[in-house]
Structures are given as C-alpha cells and as structure tokens.
Structure 1
Amino acid sequence: MAATTTCYTVAPLTTLSVYSTVPLTSVSAKSSPALIFLHFWGGSARTFSKLDPLLSSTYSVFAIDFRGWGYSTGPHSPAAYSISNLADDVQSLVTVLPQIADTGFVLVGHSMGGKVAQLLASRRLPGLKGVFLIAPAPAGPLILPSEEMKEQQIKAYNTLEAAEFTVRNVLSAGGLEEEDVKMLVEDTQRGNERARKAWPTYGMGEDYSDNLRDIDVPVRIAVGALDIVEPAERVRPEVLEKINIGSDSKDAKASMVVVEGSGHMLPLEKPERLAEEIRVFCNGL
C-alpha cells in the first residue's frame, strides 16, 4: 500500500492535514468504500494508527486532522471550531479526495468525530454509503451539572501532567501501551488553544439531535463496556434510539455493539476487534 500525507486548504486560514493509504491492487481500491476517519477531541489522525494497518489492504483510508489539531491549521477565533465548522471542512474535502468518486465512502467518527459524522450523515452527502460511530458523542447537547466540572473539562489538556492523567484515568480503561499514552499526550498538546477550548465551551452544547431523522444510510455503533466518557447507557438512548426514531426492528437504520474490556479509546485499546466490526459493516452495505 502507498501511504501519503497531503494538505488541503478548505477555508481561509484553514488547511487540513490528511493521512491516507491506498491499496496497491486496483480491485481492492475500486470494490470497497473508502474510509474517512474523524478523531476525538484531543486526538489527530494518529489516533487510528493501529486501526489503519488492519484495514488499508482492502480499503482506501483517509485520516483527517481536524482544524487546529495535529498538523492542521485553523482560524484565531474560538467560535471557528464549532461542530458545524468541522463538518463543513470534511464536506469540502470529500469532493477532492482520490478514490471517493469511484467507491463512495464510509465515515468513521470517534467521540467528537462521531458527533461531526452524525451531522454530516444528516446532510446526505453524495457518495456516503454508511456511518461507523466509535464511542460517539451524542448529536444533542451535553450540559455539565456545574461550572466546576466545566472548568475541569476545559483544563483537561492544559499541562502535560493534566493530559497524562486524563489519558490514563478518563480516556482509557488501562489497556493502553506506554507508547500510545505518550502519543495521545503529545497530540493533546499539539492542538492549538482555540481548538482545545472549543469542544467544552461550544461543541458539547451544540444540538443537532433533530437532524438525526434525516440520516438515510446504515449506522453501526461501537462502545467500550468500560467507557466513562460516552458510556453505553447514554449512547443507546441519545444516539442509537434517536437515529432509529420512526423505524421498526426490521428497518432500523442503526445497531450497536458493546466491546468488553475497553474504555473510550477503542481504536487503540481494541483495534483488532474494531477492525473486524468495520469490515463486517462495510461488507453488508
């Protein structure tokens, strides 16, 4: 497979870094949908570094650094990092990424990236074949019960020590290798200040729950059984059931699996299991 990193300018002051792998065999490249990976708040394309090798022999894979994260740039206004802005960036990219026009694509959104994926799916983008959500943030708002908790969220990545504590004790269930912890901490610090503040300040409160009724492609959801960030008890009613409103069991658009032994960082804690779930989902489209 050929791996490249390409930068695309999608808006003023906004250039997105996209890591991609394309199968060397034309049969694989043209017979399977492309996968577009969207990372969590604090992550980057590297969040999928263990998942990508398990899938890239069959699928063209594109892992995007959201504006302000990884190697992508973004505007100086904190308000420019809303979920809607992130979705607009991805929508612009879809029209220029190679392979997409021939194969169609599946959005694979993790956590905050899952909220972006839900909004994008509701827009019924041309070529969209399905959506795979990993520990997704609900499309509706998450209102923290106190200003103290909101402040803790904002400061989660403020220092190396705070970021490492968050990675080890909040994001994971103890299943991360030390090199993964180091990588995740580095990514939290690479994000610019506006991007770090945007999710707890704006993104969590944005409400796109009414848009879910417009999703018209299959959706598969994977949640870690030990996830304390987006537990199954919240994802089931706020994501699964809202996507399936108006559907009966025979024509339900969304289904969900709970992965034992994993916390919020499924792409790094359980990459083999997650890759198999993605394969099965794509094969059924």
Structure 2
Amino acid sequence: MNDVRVAFTVAVSDVRTTRAANDGWDDYDHPLPGIEKENMINPDDLYIAICDKGGNIIGDVKIIKVIPMSDPSGNKYAITGVWNNAKDNIAKAKKIMIVANCNASKLSTISLPDLTYNLDTGIRKYIPMWGVASLPELSLGTQTDMTEPIYLLRAMAKVRVGMRSDMPSYGYSIGSMHINNYNTKGYCLPNNYKLADRTQDIRFNNSLHVFDSREASIDLVEERATYIPEYDNTSSGATPATITINLNRTGKH
C-alpha cells in the first residue's frame, strides 16, 4: 500500500484568524466574533496539499469527506483525505496546506502564489482562505489523525462602520458613506506563505500580498460588514484609502 490517509479539523471561526492592525495574533482579542458568512467553506472548492520543509508541494490530497461540526466557538470542519502514491516522497512530508473558497480549479493553469479572486460585489458567498500546519510522521497504509486544528486565514479585509450608541438620541444619522480607493481583486495566499509551519506563524509584517487593481469608490452600509481585498495604505507612493461619511442631524446634512 503506497497511500497515506490523513484526518484533521479545520477551524475557521477563531477570532485570531486575522492579522488586523497588530503584528501577529498573540495579543489580538477582537470583541466581535465572526459571523456565519465569514466561517463558511465550500466543500466543492477545497485544495489540500502535502509540502516539504521549504513549503514546496510534493503531493495532492484527494478529499474523501468534509463534515461540518457543531462547535460552541463557531464553524469547524472534519476532513478526511488520502495522499495517493506517497511512497517516494513520504520522508519529505513536513506540512499540510489548505486553500479554501479560492476557485482552486484554476491551479491547473496558474501557480499557487498567483491564485487570485475577484471582489464580485454583492454576490460573494464564500471568503477565500488559506492555512498550513506541521505534519506528524506519516506511515504508508495507515491513517494519521492530527490532534491540533488547522486555522485558516481569511484573504479579505472586513470593514464595518457605525455611530456611537448615544448619537441617535441627539438626532444624528448616517446619510451615506463610502471607501475611497479599494482593490477589486486579491491574492488568496499571503506573502512568505512557504515560511510558515502553521497559520498562526504568519505576521502582518512582510505578509501583505496586494493585487494592484485600484478603483475609486465603493459604498458602505451602516453596521453591515463589507469585505474587500487587502489594500496598501503605507508604502512609498501609495494612494491611501479613506472613508467618507455624510452625517445628518435631524434630517439635515
């Protein structure tokens, strides 16, 4: 038997699954948990690969089963797959990598670092995600059950704007608002993804992977999350993104 079976859990709801404004996930404790839309995986759009120590793909995992799990913290998925014809490379297997909701069928024509998604304003159901974890030693003809979940990093930025809770009592309301400058496309994987042994190792510094596809403006709706590709605000020569809010009081601008 030259095949290896692997079973593991994918976690897509943990509040740490964002790089946000700080350097890493160690001190990140956002008070707003993810909502269902942010945690959904399309079972028909999963790519799982076995990688060597340097993050290079040495084998593909054929998905056997994807089962949504009931979990108090949010969405988790139990996944079982098989790595066929693993004998020649099993000693090199050090990591398992997952790409979800990224139209992975495109990988037949493009390389993994170049995998992109379109914003598709208003119709996107699944948020592109990526994750990686270290593998225990694998054995041919057996199933390896990974005890630690694999966390997924979302490839879109979440923007939500609302008024302070007491402002409506003073007659204030938001008339309209929008983001000035945003990207219409994004990369599915962060920069330096090959260097990480687990998703939590990714730091904001040097991981930002921006697809330059700038458009002028996109509308925001009060208290409703808007998901957009990441955008470079700080590099030399960058055109910063800003938010414009038209504020009303007692119906007047």
* Structure label with greater radius of gyration: 2
Pick the structure with more strand per residue.
2
**What TM-score does the superposition give when structure 2 sets the normalisation length?**
0.27
Pick the structure with more helix per residue.
1
**What TM-score does the superposition give when structure 1 sets the normalisation length?**
0.25
